[in-house]
Structure 1
Amino acid sequence: MVHGESDGERRAERPGALLGREGELCRAGEVLRALEGGATPFVEVTGEPGVGKSRLLEEIAARAERAGAAVLRLGAGARDDAAVAEVPVRTRSGRPVLLVLDDLHRAEPVVLDAVRRARPAVLCAYRSRQAPAALSRLLCGLPADRHRVRIAVGPLTADEARRLAGTGLGARAAAWCAAVGQGIPRYVEWLARCPRLPGPAEVRADIDLLELLPLPAEPVSDAEFDGLDDICRRVAEAAAVIGEPFRPDLAAAVAGMTAPTLFAAVDELARRDLIRADPGDGGLFRFRHPLLRARLYQRMAPERRLAAHRCAVRHLGGADDVLVRARHLSRCARAGEPGAVAAFEAAAVTALAWSPATAGYWAAEGLRRVPPSAAGERDRRRLLVLLARALGGDGRLSEARSVLDGLLTAPPSGDSGGAARPTGGTAAQYAALTQLAAGYAQLQGGHGDAATLLETALERLGPDGAQAAALSVQAGCAALLAGQPGAARQYLRRAGATADHAPGPRVRRRALDAAVCAHDGDTASARGQLRVAVAELDALPDPGLAALLDSVILTAWSEWLVGTPGEALRHGDRAVGVARRTGQRQLLPGALLIRGLALYELGCLDAAIECYRESAEIARCEQAPEQTAVALALLCCAESWQGTVPPTGALADEACRRLRALPRTVATVAASGQLWAAGLWSAPGAGPGDPESFVAVAGGPRLRWLARCSHPRWLRELAEAEARRGRTQRADQWLKRADSVAAALGSPVQSAHVDAGRAVLALVSGRPGEAVGAARAAASAFSEAGMALEEGRALLVLARALAGVCQWTQLQTVLGRVRAIAADCGAGRLRELAVAEQRRSMSVAGRVREGSPAGVPPAARPVPPSGLTRRESQIADLVARGLANGQVAARLGITAKTVEAHLTRIYRKLGVTCRSSLVRALCAEPSALVADGAVQTGSLAGSGRSYGSIAASSARVATPSLR
């Protein structure tokens, strides 16, 4: 009775095909329990072909057998109703009978009628789209007392399909199999068995990969094609050659038959569910699954396939998509065939605007068919330029540079390639190729190489003309990023007013001018140039902005430098969107980096981390070491705020190693500074946060490698690092410089950095009253700029200052605001610091009145006998600062179990039972803290020291780097 699919599926599917079927099996379990109670349900398992119906049927039947039912399977040999009619409801021993029928849609009508009349419980599977009229009558004519249960089996989820395909495959290949297989187990496993899967570039090219893959045989799908008559097979093969979706009229022409014959065959193929109407466009059809078309295409005889492609080319009209024509020509055109090279070039030009990977494929196809002649050499050069643009746009920068190097060293006829100056069109081509090569060199971090290329071109072209102006602007950009702002200004002057004649060059020049001014600290001029550049950029639609995407990124970076992260985020968002839509993969890492910087500044940690992670992944694929290292460094800093990366994490080590291996540029030095400020920078012979190591990286005390408009921020970080080491005089010198630079910049944000640094220095110097005003001013300025994390840092310093002057009510309000910022930003580390500060302050707040004068010590308390050892004193001090057991263990290089054992002895010696009581006891007992290596954090009875001075002493050692 049943034939075709089930046996093949059982052989092909592994036990993993039941992955993700928990819901279906749960529902089947309810049916089995009803069967044990005497019911005779009629259970239908339906779904797409290959979705795993037969495997599910087998699993349900096996569970029924284990539950005590008698399972009767009727296979492909049953052709009449006798076998079904003789099945009893129960066996002689009283066991319920379960009749299992697979592929019910293939059964004969008489057998279906017998199934309708049968009384035992039935478990069947069928394809609903291929159900004949007799099966529909069976289902509608079931007796009223039969309980009908329908279990619809759908595709696997993306994660389940990846797990199914993942045996022996990489994550990327498994994800591709899952996506192309559309979650249907048979097709996912079929793809996973291919001896060769496409690489990332081939996947991005999107050029009918399936028909080019070496698909293995698949018995169930092959059987579907073997059952077709000659006419239906010819139509199906014509459709496979045309591609998806296909037009019936073109299929008729390729198959060589009349329209009535074709439509009859189309109806039969649709009835068999081999093809379906295309949901996107009326009158078009596509195969049930792309793998079916690919398999039928590969089963065709080579001569029939070649003839079909040639026929398709002849019947494609002039208005047809150039990519469709190129696909057919790629399967049948010979080298030197007239019109083929032009078709491939047209396809590459068309695809370049939205998919450089596709453009690269068609350019390569054209190059393979260029004839060896003078005309062919011109075609070859044009196609090589297209190929270089496509490879670069797809992020394959090394390959693109290799192609461009060949073009630049072998100039076209009419140019000697030596010192002679190119003229006319040759000059424009030479300038364009040089700009392209220099741009790719910059993306890989070779700013010096780019400047050399551009300077050589300027020498050949001369100082005048539009090409020379464009080259000068690009050379200025390379010089700026290489840390040579003076050279960048010289290139801008060489560009002169020539760049102002056209909108594109004018915007590029203004964007570079704004970046140079921002780097030099001329914020007024930078903002003026930005206003003009932004007005022109915002007026352009996305297609017009695609050619100026590098200038958009440069503009966003300048906005971030001058302290407007909101505007930087707006342009970063637009740059990322345009890069994705236009397929400019080579610019995506830079756009993601500037977007991440703006998000990080605004406190959106999760979104910033996502940007950094994607930027690092793409930059790795592009073999762009500078962008990879910078993205990893920024990712470490953002994750450290979340509290997910320890200071010695592998990611931080990798970022430091990569940055140290690269030459110093503006980007690498800034990234190293971010790691240093976060306490993650490791330099040989220097500890975390060592000021000298950062000064050395930044180019000496003048910090020449860092943008001058950000100097107050970095000088503040240096001052705080010196203050934490007790070197207050050095800290004061750094802050004086920061104050001078911030006044010249006229930037509220940079002035806020100076105020924040002064607050920390005042705290460390034992002047909490002075710290209150400075910290409050810094927090207010950061809040107005929308810089949430910096506001949280400043408020934490304010909280410590308020504790120093015994303003407990204000202190709780400020710490509440810090916790709210931490929750909004997802900054777990900021929250931990706020909680630790609250524990420290509350341990003293109960003993000191609100607003107590700084010179009046709190009331003395009796000193309990302690006798703490040196190690116990160290652990008690760290616990009093708010550190958890694991953090104490990491700080002292011991295990958490050892910390717990020490705490038990400390509690017993001090007569306390919890951590808060321990803190209060330590604040009252000096002897517990005077052991070698301990830090005094409480008030000393009778010593004459006020809580304000004690808080300042604690701040000197306990104030961590919050960046």
Structure 2
Amino acid sequence: MLLERDTELAHVGTALRAAEEGTSSSILLSGPLGIGRSALLRCLPGLCAGEDVRVLRANAAATEQDFAFGVVRQLFDSLVAGAPEADRTRWAGEAGGLTRIFTAGTVPDDRGRGDRRGRGRDGTRASGHESGHGFGLPSAATAHGIGESREDADSEAILYGLRSLPACLGSNGRLLILVDDLQWADVPSLRWLAHLAKRLDGLRAVLVCALRDGEPRARHPLVREVAQSAARVLRPAPLSLDAARALVRERRGGPGHEEYARACHEVSGGNPLFLMSVLLGTAARGFPPTADHIGQVRALRPAELRDRLASHLRTQTPAVRDLAAAVAALGDHAEPALVAQLAGLDEIGFGAARRALEETGLLTGAREPRFTHRVVQDAIELSMTPAERERTHADAADLLYRSGFPAEQVAAHLMAVTGPGRSWSLPVLRSAADSALRRGAPETAARYLRRALLAHRAQDTGRARLLVDLATAERAFDPEACERHVVQAIPLLTTARDRAAAALRIPPTLLGAVPPATAALLRAAAAELGAQARLDEPARELALRLEARLRHCGHENPGELASAAERLRELGEDPPLGSAGERELVAVLLCAGTLTGRLTAAGAARTANRVLEREPAASAGAYTGLPLVVMTLFAAESIRGVGSWLSSEQQTRRQNTTGADGVLLFAERALALVMQGRHGQAREYLERAMGLADADWRESAVLVLCAVAFELRDPALGERVLNRAHRRRFTGLAVTVTLRILQASVDAQRGRRARALESLLVCGRRLEASGWENSALFPWRPHAIGLHHRLGDSHAALALAEEEHAWAAAWGAPTGLGRALRLKGWLHGGQGVPLLREAVGVLRGSTHSLELARTLVLLGRRLGGGPEAESALREAGAIAAACGAPWLVEQAEHGLGTPAPPPRTAVLTRSERRVVSLVGRGLTNQEIAGELGVSSRAVEKHLTNSYRKLGISGRHELAGALPA
């Protein structure tokens, strides 16, 4: 499929028409690698199909330059192929005299005997090339020897003799002579082409030669002589965007997305070779031509194109190869002066090598050297030996270091060097790791530190500190490796304080199972430090943090939990919170008191908020016990303090964070929103958490996400959360129980009530065995009460309701207490109205608006009519609509016994209407962002506002909320 080459075809067609009138001409077809010269040559015979034009073709090759007259032989052999026997006999007769000129009579005349083999003077049989087609052209060895060793090979007699056959052929019709890759033609053939190009008059011929730009051999005198003889030089231009669209349609079987075609055109620069390689690569990988796969198009590095470019680079001069290697090594830091210095080129050599790479289409024309495509760098590295690559990166590291570049830029090159490196390598790698950690790239930091460990083989404190730094980086993504490297480092450290600090680099498993080896390591470090009272301030800080970790290790042991509660009482009503160690200890002790219910919600919230007031929302806190204080605040319903902490400046800077920190952050925000009755926004944050990788779902994040899914009461969403959570193995009591409670909720909504109840009762027994009584964290009892009642066991339901009420009253959080009162009022039938009124009063002090709406609906129905009932139902409907719970709105309207009032038309902004309309077409948030040219965050904001205005909780309710 030849596109946008009509101009070139027209010029050749004009030359052929002129040749019919006796005006011959020579045309040069030039351009960079991959521009389509060969494809254009292949199409030229089609211009003269059915006409009296004989086509002679030859393709020169770099590997055949020693084959003398190889290109000439191809030209005439292409003519003979398929020609009638009479023509071949006549042409052989015309060329018979050439045999005697070339071989001095060594090949006898075999006219009329084209199927016979001649013999030379020495009696040997001539080669097939000598006589197979009857032209009697010299063999490779003979012609080369003559061309290089004997003066008569350069004589005008030979050149005129070779011209005799084209003259004979031209007398009976026009000739179209096509030579591809002229730069690779052998020297004798070049002499003949140069001779022919200057003597085309009278031949009725058009000579078209293709020459690749930027080739070293293009500067050969004979190649330049042929090129300069051309009457016209044609340079095909890069393909346009319209041509790229047509190729996408032709190669992918249909029109692709506009952005997909645009991305293909941009990454290829319109170069046909690059463009076809991209299209074939995406098709081979199964990427459909949609906007979702633009990223894959831009990142694709086709292996076939890489191999083609690597083969091309091997033919370049050493200066050009050195420059390409320098640009590949320096990458984005390829300033001209640095590149020239790394390549070892002076100003003149640098300019010449750069022009060669630009002419061949591998470098852009920007001030700083840049490759035209990412695959060019792969091709350069493939064309180099491993030793050459390593030497180039070592020189680049040394150059950047001496030039004062940042440590990470130097370290990127040290990563490619296997040797010990320079004396400054270790400090640079450590500095680079620190920079990577500060910018939130722990995996990159770990790679730098592992490389540093390879260079530092001595078993000393220096290696220990590298191991500790590596563990610090790995705790963000590989806790097991973190612990392993801490264990390796501790024997190499010389002081108890250093060993304790190293042990604290192991992140706690928040409410997860603690490996026995970790607990033993912490106990050994604490015992070695000694009693806190005898330690100085830095050592006491370490001892406090070790105590916090050790107490948290026993969070599934009732005896350890009771001891933790007692320790918290010893610290007084206002425990000291001046240091990070004191805050971490108090957070762990508060968690223990919350799990057991030995504290009151008000007291726990007061102390927990004091901790947050003094603790910045920094990422390092995620690897301590401090996140447990957030769980305490959720259980105590102190949402205001948690919300402001999560929305602080530090968290705002991390709003687009990824990894385990990102999952936990999104989950905590979703739970804060759902407890405020803002279900639509909570769902959006949960979806963002669901979009992150499975490996980032840690115990604490799973706990919070399950709590959000439980409150949203969407079985499909609950199943999605469960499926994601089950991809990882969690063994801690908190996670396993939470997952079973959410599964029971899904089962109950799917009609599997008996199965759901059995799961809840098993959870209850396990929690009680561990001393975990707090129903606000693990709400198995409220759910089991409803299932008991629906399955006909009212006695068991009442017993559990009394137990729940007693616990909720002791804890004192308004939502838990109000829910317990509502459940008791529901079970007591008509006699439960006072309990429902009391529940309404309690819940008015809660942030959980939806729980208040549920209680008001139940109260209105039980009252059976009258002003109080109507007021309760109308208030419930208004709260439910504001919370995005249409199912509860319907219950309130049904209790009123009147048709629902016409819905108030939601006033959506123009942008919100556009976003909602695209959602209606089935587009994802990312697709909508691409369609409108905005960020995904902006799309989420518009959707959240639309859900709130329409009184719905998510996408699945849009169809019913909008008019047809």
Work out whether the TM-score is over 0.5.
Answer: yes
2:819 — aligned with what?
Answer: 753
2:939 — aligned with what?
Answer: none
1:141 — aligned with what?
Answer: none
1:722-773, Cα deviation, whole Å (9 max, x unpaired): 44345545544444444444444443333322332244224xx244855763
From 533, 548, 560, give the equivalent of 1:473. Answer: 548
Change (3 A) 1:301 1:722: closer
* Conservation of the 8 A alpha-carbon contact between 2:260 and 2:291: no
Question: Which whole-Å CA distance do the structure 1 matches of 2:265 and 2:819 have between them?
Answer: 50
1:507 — aligned with what?
Answer: 583
Change (3 A) 1:618 1:786: same
1:793 equivalenced with 2:854 (yes/no): yes
From 482, 486, 492, give the equivalent of 1:412. Answer: 492
Change (3 A) 1:743 1:571: same
Structure 1 residue 386, shift from structure 2 partner: 2.4
Residue identity in the other structure for 2:376: L
Structure 1 residue 562, shift from structure 2 partner: 0.9
* Conservation of the 8 A alpha-carbon contact between 2:825 and 2:834: yes
Question: Which whole-Å CA distance do the structure 2 matches of 1:297 and 1:355 have between them?
Answer: 26
Structure 1 residue 838, shift from structure 2 partner: 5.7
Structure 1 residue 642, shift from structure 2 partner: 3.2
* Conservation of the 8 A alpha-carbon contact between 1:309 and 1:328: yes
2:73 — aligned with what?
Answer: none
Residue identity in the other structure for 1:427: A
Structure 1 residue 166, shift from structure 2 partner: 7.4
Q: For 1:525, what is the secondary structure of its paired residue?
A: helix
1:402 equivalenced with 2:484 (yes/no): yes
Change (3 A) 1:250 1:502: farther
Question: Which whole-Å CA distance do the structure 1 matches of 2:796 and 2:606 have between them?
Answer: 36
TM-score (norm 2): 0.56
1:241 — aligned with what?
Answer: 329
2:194 — aligned with what?
Answer: none
Structure 1 residue 369, shift from structure 2 partner: 2.6
Larger-Rg structure = 2
From 773, 791, 795, give the equivalent of 2:837. Answer: 773
1:529 equivalenced with 2:598 (yes/no): no
1:571-610, Cα deviation, whole Å (9 max, x unpaired): 3456994896998945555444433432333345566556
2:407 — aligned with what?
Answer: 322
* Conservation of the 8 A alpha-carbon contact between 2:741 and 2:760: yes
1:259 equivalenced with 2:347 (yes/no): yes
1:231-261, Cα deviation, whole Å (9 max, x unpaired): 4443222111222231211111111122354
1:436 — aligned with what?
Answer: 505
2:144 — aligned with what?
Answer: none
Question: Which whole-Å CA distance do the structure 2 matches of 1:578 and 1:706 have between them?
Answer: 34
Question: Which whole-Å CA distance do the structure 2 matches of 1:152 and 1:696 have between them?
Answer: 53
Structure 1 residue 564, shift from structure 2 partner: 2.5
| 1:102-501 matched pairs, under 5 angstroms | 126-127=238-239, 153-155=261-263, 179=295, 181-182=297-298, 187=300, 189-190=302-303, 218=306, 221-222=309-310, 225=313, 231-259=319-347, 261-263=349-351, 265-266=353-354, 269=357, 274-276=362-364, 284-316=368-400, 317=402, 319-332=404-417, 334-335=419-420, 338-353=423-438, 354-371=440-457, 373=458, 377-393=460-476, 395-408=477-490, 411-412=491-492, 426-437=495-506, 439=507, 445-446=513-514, 450-464=518-532, 465-480=540-555, 484-489=560-565
Greater displacement, 773-782 / 570-579: 570-579
Question: Which whole-Å CA distance do the structure 2 matches of 1:572 and 1:348 have between them?
Answer: 28
1:344-376, Cα deviation, whole Å (9 max, x unpaired): 3333333233211111111221222334x4xx5
Q: For 1:708, what is the secondary structure of its paired residue?
A: coil
1:66-109, Cα deviation, whole Å (9 max, x unpaired): xxxxxxxxx999xxx999xxxxxxxxxxxxxxxxxxx9999999
TM-score (norm 1): 0.56
Q: For 1:710, what is the secondary structure of its paired residue?
A: coil
* Conservation of the 8 A alpha-carbon contact between 1:234 and 1:255: yes
Percent of paired sites with the same residue: 18
Question: Which whole-Å CA distance do the structure 2 matches of 1:819 and 1:250 have between them?
Answer: 66
2:44 — aligned with what?
Answer: none
Question: Which whole-Å CA distance do the structure 2 matches of 1:582 and 1:433 have between them?
Answer: 31
Question: Which whole-Å CA distance do the structure 1 matches of 2:323 and 2:574 have between them?
Answer: 62
Structure 1 residue 809, shift from structure 2 partner: 5.7
2:904 — aligned with what?
Answer: none
* Conservation of the 8 A alpha-carbon contact between 1:619 and 1:627: no
Question: Which whole-Å CA distance do the structure 2 matches of 1:681 and 1:406 have between them?
Answer: 51
Question: Which whole-Å CA distance do the structure 2 matches of 1:619 and 1:791 have between them?
Answer: 36
Question: Which whole-Å CA distance do the structure 2 matches of 1:157 and 1:443 have between them?
Answer: 52
Question: Which whole-Å CA distance do the structure 1 matches of 2:640 and 2:278 have between them?
Answer: 39
Q: For 2:443, what is the secondary structure of its paired residue?
A: helix
* Conservation of the 8 A alpha-carbon contact between 1:636 and 1:675: no
Q: Which runs of 5+ in 2 are unaligned?
A: 6-31, 41-56, 60-173, 177-209, 215-226, 244-257, 267-274, 533-539, 900-964
2:716 — aligned with what?
Answer: 644
Structure 1 residue 293, shift from structure 2 partner: 1.9
Residue identity in the other structure for 1:757: L
| 1:531-680 matched pairs, under 5 angstroms | 531-537=609-615, 540=616, 546-547=620-621, 550=624, 553-572=627-646, 577=651, 585=659, 587-605=661-679, 608=682, 620-621=694-695, 626=699, 630=703, 633-634=706-707, 637=710, 641-644=713-716, 662-664=731-733, 666-677=734-745, 679=747
Q: For 2:370, what is the secondary structure of its paired residue?
A: strand
1:863 — aligned with what?
Answer: none
* Conservation of the 8 A alpha-carbon contact between 2:325 and 2:381: yes
Residue identity in the other structure for 1:253: Q
* Conservation of the 8 A alpha-carbon contact between 1:652 and 1:680: no
* Conservation of the 8 A alpha-carbon contact between 2:557 and 2:771: no
1:898 — aligned with what?
Answer: none
Change (3 A) 1:787 1:302: same
Structure 1 residue 338, shift from structure 2 partner: 3.5
* Conservation of the 8 A alpha-carbon contact between 2:622 and 2:661: no
1:208 — aligned with what?
Answer: none
* Conservation of the 8 A alpha-carbon contact between 1:355 and 1:583: no
Structure 1 residue 472, shift from structure 2 partner: 0.5
Question: Which whole-Å CA distance do the structure 2 matches of 1:561 and 1:232 have between them?
Answer: 68
Question: Which whole-Å CA distance do the structure 2 matches of 1:151 and 1:594 have between them?
Answer: 36
Q: Which runs of 5+ in 1 are unaligned?
A: 7-47, 58-74, 84-102, 117-123, 132-149, 191-215, 415-425, 847-963
Change (3 A) 1:252 1:532: same
Question: Which whole-Å CA distance do the structure 2 matches of 1:277 and 1:532 have between them?
Answer: 61
1:687 — aligned with what?
Answer: 754
Structure 1 residue 391, shift from structure 2 partner: 2.1
1:255-303, Cα deviation, whole Å (9 max, x unpaired): 112235435654665566634488xxxx644323332123213313445
Question: Which whole-Å CA distance do the structure 2 matches of 1:590 and 1:529 have between them?
Answer: 23
Higher relative contact order (CA 8 A, sep 6+): 2
* Conservation of the 8 A alpha-carbon contact between 1:397 and 1:444: no
1:778-803, Cα deviation, whole Å (9 max, x unpaired): 66445xx1544x34533443454355
Change (3 A) 1:750 1:681: same
Question: Which whole-Å CA distance do the structure 2 matches of 1:151 and 1:516 have between them?
Answer: 55
Structure 1 residue 719, shift from structure 2 partner: 3.9
Q: RMSD over aligned Cα, in angstroms?
A: 5.8
Question: Which whole-Å CA distance do the structure 2 matches of 1:619 and 1:814 have between them?
Answer: 42
1:447-506, Cα deviation, whole Å (9 max, x unpaired): 766544423332232222332222012223333476643233466689999995963223
* Conservation of the 8 A alpha-carbon contact between 2:822 and 2:855: yes
Question: Which whole-Å CA distance do the structure 1 matches of 2:413 and 2:663 have between them?
Answer: 35
1:379-410, Cα deviation, whole Å (9 max, x unpaired): 332222222222222x12222223333344xx
Q: For 1:287, what is the secondary structure of its paired residue?
A: coil
Question: Which whole-Å CA distance do the structure 2 matches of 1:388 and 1:494 have between them?
Answer: 35
Greater displacement, 567-576 / 324-333: 567-576
